């Protein structure tokens, strides 16, 4: 191979790398801008007797108050630790005993390390811990479960369940049976946003609805979503139907041989996915999964 040809190949490879880096920079800048825009003070809303939802910059946090302490579901970003603790102290002078993670993303589990340092025990699905360790994310839980685990504190019971892959490979749905409330993490959202399928960490568009079918078997009437205001069973039923419609549309396009650009434009125009906000590889992975559907 001539030096001229090698030099040409090298230039093209460098150009491709620059394009990818530029796309990644644009994506991360978009995410950063969205985060700054979304930043807001933490507030607390009563859900049921003894159960509250703390909302703020990160994902929604559930707080169950008992005579022996509190059980939280998720803990937002690391930078939100003080804000979350401020809201908790207004609910009770008892300590937080447990944090149950719905998954590993740092807007839901970012304060884990500070919680652990404060002698709070973290519980998550085993795949969430695996993902955290692979990502070198601080605050990996010391206690994990495979399918289900029950936590008892101060005469109250909280159940954490894993129903399969969806948003990630380590999603947990937290059930408060006495209150008939569930916390879904990002398996269900009420804030206008696309369902992010984190393929890099085990997510699946196919298994997502299967997980939701299992969730709908629980005896609940109120939902604390991963992001957005409170919802109910009807809201989850609609979300599931909308997700399936989106997935079936993309599956049909893939079977028709539509291009990646056509799929991307459909997700943006018809299903509200953000312009310029699609994670690198997200659409490719979505298309690949749809190609493998039997």
Structure tokens at 53: 């939802």
Q: What is the structure's pLDDT at 38?
A: 45
Q: CA of 48: how far to CAs of 10, 79, 201, 211, 265, in Å?
A: 63, 28, 33, 25, 42
For residues 88-105, average pLDDT: 98
Confidence of residue 213 (pLDDT cuts 50, 70, 90): very high
Q: How confident is the model at residue 293 (pLDDT cuts 50, 70, 90)?
A: confident
Tell me, what's the pLDDT at 39? 62
Q: Give the dihedral sign, CA 196/209/242/73.
A: negative
Mean pLDDT for the stretch of residues 135-163 = 98
Query: Considering all CA atoms of the chain, what is the largest pairwise distance in Å, rounded to the nearest integer?
Result: 78
Sheet holding 173-176, edge to edge: 148-153, 156-161, 173-176, 181-185, 222-225
Angle subtended by helix axes 205-215 and 282-291, to nearest 10: 80
Query: Residue 100, SS3?
Result: strand
Task: Return the SS3 of 203.
Answer: coil
Instruction: Count CB neighbours of 170 within 10 A.
Output: 27
pLDDT in tens, 7-44: 433 433 333 333 333 333 333 333 433 444 446 789 99
- According to the model, what pLDDT value does residue 294 have? 73
Nearest CA to 185 out of 33, 70, 72 is that of 72
SS3 per-residue string spanning 51-72: EEEEECCCCCEEEEEECCEEEE
- How far is CA 136 from each of CA 102, 104, 145, 177, rounded to the nearest angstrom? 18, 11, 20, 34
pTM assigned to the model: 0.86
Of residues 34 and 231, the one with the higher pLDDT is 231
Q: What is the pLDDT of residue 183?
A: 98
- Parallel/antiparallel/unpaired status of strands 43-48 and 143-145: unpaired
Q: Return the minimum-mean-pLDDT range out of 83-87, 238-242, 280-284.
A: 280-284
pLDDT over 70 at 5, yes or no: no
- What H or E segment, with its residue span, contains residue 148? strand 148-153
Element (H, E) at 152: strand 148-153
Which of 7-11, 46-50, 148-152, 240-244 has the lowest average pLDDT? 7-11
The answer to whether residues 72 and 61 touch, using CB atoms and an 8 Å cutoff, is yes
- For the stretch 167-186, pLDDT in tens is 999 999 999 999 999 999 99
Q: What is the mean pLDDT of the chain?
A: 87
């Amino acid at each position: 191979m001539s030096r001229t040809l090698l030099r040409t190949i090298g230039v093209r490879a460098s150009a491709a790398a620059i394009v990818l880096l530029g796309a990644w920079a644009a994506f991360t800048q978009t995410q950063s801008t969205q985060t700054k825009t979304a930043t807001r003070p933490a507030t607390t809303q009563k859900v049921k007797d003894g159960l509250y939802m703390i909302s703020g910059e990160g994902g929604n946090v559930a707080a169950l108050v008992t005579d022996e302490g509190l059980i939280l579901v998720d803990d937002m970003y690391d930078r939100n630790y003080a804000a979350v603790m401020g809201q908790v102290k207004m609910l009770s002078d008892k300590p937080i005993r447990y944090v149950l993670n719905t998954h590993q993303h740092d807007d839901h589990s970012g304060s884990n390390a500070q919680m652990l340092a404060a002698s709070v025990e973290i519980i998550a699905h085993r795949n969430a811990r695996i993902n955290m360790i692979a990502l070198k994310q601080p605050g990996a839980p010391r206690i994990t479960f495979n399918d289900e685990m029950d936590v008892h504190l101060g005469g109250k019971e909280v159940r954490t369940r894993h129903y399969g892959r969806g948003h990630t490979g380590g999603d947990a749905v937290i059930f408060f049976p006495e209150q008939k409330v569930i916390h879904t993490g990002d398996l269900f959202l009420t804030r206008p946003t696309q369902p992010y399928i984190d393929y890099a960490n085990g997510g699946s568009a196919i298994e997502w609805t299967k997980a939701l079918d299992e969730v709908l078997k629980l005896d609940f009437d109120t939902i604390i979503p991963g992001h957005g205001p409170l919802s109910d069973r009807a809201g989850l039923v609609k979300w599931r139907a909308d997700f399936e419609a989106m997935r079936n549309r993309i599956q049909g396009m893939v079977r028709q041989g539509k291009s990646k650009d056509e799929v991307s434009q459909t997700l943006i125009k018809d299903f509200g996915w953000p312009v310029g906000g699609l994670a690198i590889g997200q659409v490719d992975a979505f298309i690949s999964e749809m190609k493998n559907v039997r």
